[in-house]
Amino acid sequence: MSAPVLVLASHNAGKLRELRELLRGKVPGLDVDTQVIDAAAAGASDPVEDQVTFAGNALKKAREVAASSGLIALADDSGLSVDVLGGAPGIFSARWSGVHGDDEANIDLLLAQLGDIGAEHRAAQFVCAAALATPAGAEHVELGTSAGVLRTQRAGSHGFGYDPIFEPEGSGKTMAEHTPEEKNAISHRARAFAALLPVIIDEVTRALAAR
């Protein structure tokens, strides 16, 4: 097995799976299935998200895991921004209901809060900040967004988080009704990591050449 080169600063299996697919075949010399691992496999803790912006949280996580693992670290912080709620849940998306990572409770609460809001006022967007940090101290961050509207009921079984109630602009179906391949073409995370890809390629190429 090849030694890891990249570590995702997260213990979220869904995010690791998505990242591997986003990078597959795009980074010369990188075997995503063996050389891209998560924080748990690297023996790193899941950093606390205590910053007040998506970019701040993503950079903090990447920085801490790069330092503790000795590997190039990637991290993202993402969430749902609802226009009528003034941008909330925002950075609190994963713990909107009070329990971090309880997707069903988060969706239930948001749907209840928007229960009497008409379709014309249910605009929202997913926002993602993707960050890279190296053990040597290099840092970079990019943003990606996906605009759409919020449904009143869940639909679809793919994805995670708010995907079952978010309908990307012009798609006619929720993010959770898209196949993983379709989602990777339009998602906020895919767009953020696509913008970050040239930096990832440069850093991985440099790391592989140094072996």
* Residue 107 covered by a domain: yes
151 labelled binding-site residue:
no
Is 45 labeled as ligand-binding? no
72-82 and 6-8 strand pairing: parallel
Question: What's the confidence (pLDDT) of residue 138?
Answer: 96
Number of independent structural domains in the chain: 1
Q: Is 158 among the annotated ligand-binding positions?
A: no
Residue 196 placed within a domain: yes
163 is in an annotated binding site: yes
pLDDT, tens digit, for every residue of 143-194?
A: 999 999 999 999 999 888 999 999 999 999 999 999 988 988 888 988 999 9
The answer on pLDDT for 2 being more than 80 is no
Query: Mean pLDDT across the chain, nearest whole number?
Result: 94
pLDDT at 71 over 60: yes
Catalytic residue annotation: 77
In CATH, what number is assigned to the domain containing residue 19? 3.90.950.10
For 40, the domain range is 6-209
How does pLDDT run across 10-28, given as a tens digit for each residue? 988 888 988 898 899 999 9
Residue count (the chain): 211
Q: Is 13 annotated as a binding residue?
A: yes
What pLDDT was estimated at residue 1? Answer: 53
Residue 159 within a domain:
yes
Domain presence at residue 1: no
* Higher-scoring residue by pLDDT: 19, 132: 132
Prediction pTM value: 0.89
DSSP calls for the chain: -PPP-EEES---HHHHHHHHHHHTTTSTT--HHHHEEETTTTT-------SSSHHHHHHHHHHHHHHHHSSEEEEEEEEEEEGGGTT-BGGGGGGTTSSTT-HHHHHHHHHHHTTT--GGG-EEEEEEEEEEE-TTS-EEEEEEEEEEEE-SS---SSSSTTGGGEEETTTSS-GGGS-HHHHHHH-HHHHHHHHHHHHHHHHHHHHHHT-
- Find the mean pLDDT for residues 132-137: 96
Asked if residue 97 belongs to a known ligand binding site, the reply is no
- At 135, is the pLDDT very low, low, confident or very high (cuts 50, 70, 90)? very high
Residue 117, Ramachandran bin (φ over 0: left; ψ between -120 and 50: alpha; else beta): beta
Q: Is 140 annotated as a binding residue?
A: no
